[in-house]
Amino acid sequence: MAFPQTLSALLFLFPFLLFATIFALPLDDVKLWCSKTPNPQPCEYFLSHNPSKTPIKQKTDFFKVLTQLTLQRAIKAHKNSYSLGPKCRNKLEKAAWDDCLELYDYTISKLNKTIESKCSQTDAQTWLSTALTNLETCKTGFYDLGVVDNVMPLMSNNVSKLICNTLAMNKVNYSEPIYKNGFPTWVKPGDRKLLQTSSPASRANVVVAADGSGNFKTLNAAISAAKSTSGRYVIHVKAGTYNEQVEIKLKNIMLVGDGIGKTIITGSKSVGGGSTTFRSATVAVVGDNFIARDITFRNTAGPRNHQAVAFRSGSDLSVLYKCSFEGYQDTLYVHSERQFYRECNIFGTVDFIFGNAAVVLQNCNIIARNPPQKTITVTAQGRTDPNQNTGISIHNSRVTPASDLSVSSVKSYLGRPWKQYSRTVIMKTYLDGFLNPTGWLEWDGNFALNTLYYGEYLNTGAGSSTANRVKWKGYHVIKSATEASKFTVGNFIAGNSWLPGTSVPFTAGL
């Protein structure tokens, strides 16, 4: 399905014409500033039609104007997307379209936050990276369900290009504290005492118990009853199996279970079953400052139902401690924002740690299960722009086969490049001998092999030798501690400034 050519052209130009009177400069200045961006054409069009001809005196002025333009364009694209609903011909198209509406909401929220808050340069780069990731996820939903030729062309716009421009203008080449006082603003003195106790469940606001002994029988009921708070809201989920799909949108939620294998939240949605990857998550979190500990998150769709997420996080400054993530393909979706995982277990087969967050997994057990297609890829990182401050960092962990894995009949790799600028670094980690000596796998021919960044630093184990690793331009055997330290908790996610308030142990450096 497609609009007639003239109508498509009008829809494309309408937002340009609508905002032609907002941000413009003399033509020479426009070309000068826009030439610094990766996508000068939409930049020049918008800026050259401003009757006020206000000069941009410095880079920060230009960045602000670009971000405002991007926000306005995103709002119009979002409104236009609503009109596509009636054009969805079946449930699959409708499922992908529903995702896009929600993801545009999140994108607009992140752009607003970048403009309105007194944020650091690192904060801004994180939120802009997330804004772009949301739009990529919108597209991915149509590809997941095989309906890309129908509705997806109608959703094309220049918002992604404009976000790329803002990322380029705000590029962060250094690490800086997220919070000047050492703790995030949501951590109050009482919260610190709560989180530092060895038994936070004893201080829970509410209790979930399947046997009826708590305030609620389901986690969804507890989440629905929770209220927004500036402090930490603790939900104790007692031992039991909770078969439900959960989405957490409130900030400052903490889930406390009774231990891995004791408190289990399980679901079975999958792409094979008609869901998008994004929507297949058993538990999905978008509210910032989320914490979970001592819980198993599970997706039981099985290895033949393709993408089936156990846990998805788009929560900024989120922490998962002593949790287990159990699935097959696409088990752990580290979708966006800044995330930290400590002493967790992650089970899967294909791309089972994937997404485009800035994430560090530390002291974790990464366990490969037996795949029906006889190929294992541990990671699939999704950075689409070279200026996104995102990537997967695996530090001081273990990558081993599950007991059911037939090592001799399966080829296993550390990862493959899902997107053009895929970035994954593995440091001081035990790599078992089941891994293929080449280490990494192509996604599609030569795609991204020159633009990705894959690095290994001082790993151990029978699978850690780099002698026969791939010879791609983007692959690096990291020999410098200075280079490796860029991907530590302290530098990559600025953990020193916010993790102390959670009481979760962490190693800031190498």
Active site positions, annotated:
351
E strand or H helix that includes residue 358: strand 358-362
Tokens of 433: 């001998």
CA distances from 509 to 362, 417, 482 (A): 11, 26, 11
CB 147 within 8 A of CB 96: yes
CA distances from 297 to 15, 108, 505 (A): 43, 29, 21
Tokens of 256: 């406390």
- Residue 398 burial (CB count, 10 A): 17
Give every CB contact of residue 235 below 8 A, 6+ residues apart in sequence: 204, 205, 206, 207, 208, 219, 222, 223, 226, 253, 254, 255, 256
C-alpha span between 80 and 87 (Å, rounded) = 12
- Residues pairing with 345 in the sheet: 324, 365
Question: Quick one: three-class SS letters along 376-402?
Answer: EEEEEECCCCCCCCCEEEEECCEEEEC
DSSP string, 140-151: HHHHHTT-TTTT
CB 208 within 8 A of CB 233: no
Question: Torsion-angle region of residue 108: left (phi > 0), alpha (psi -120 to 50) or beta?
Answer: alpha
CB 482 within 8 A of CB 459: no
C-alpha span between 466 and 204 (Å, rounded) = 48
Query: Is residue 399 packed enough to be buried (19+ CB in 10 Å), middle (13-18) or exposed (0-12)?
Result: buried
Look up tokens 């609009």; give the residue: 3
- Residue 147 burial (CB count, 10 A): 20
C-alpha span between 457 and 424 (Å, rounded) = 11
CA 247 distance to own-chain centroid: 15
DSSP-based helix, strand, coil % in the chain, nearest 5? 30, 20, 45
Give every CB contact of residue 482 below 8 A, 6+ residues apart in sequence: none
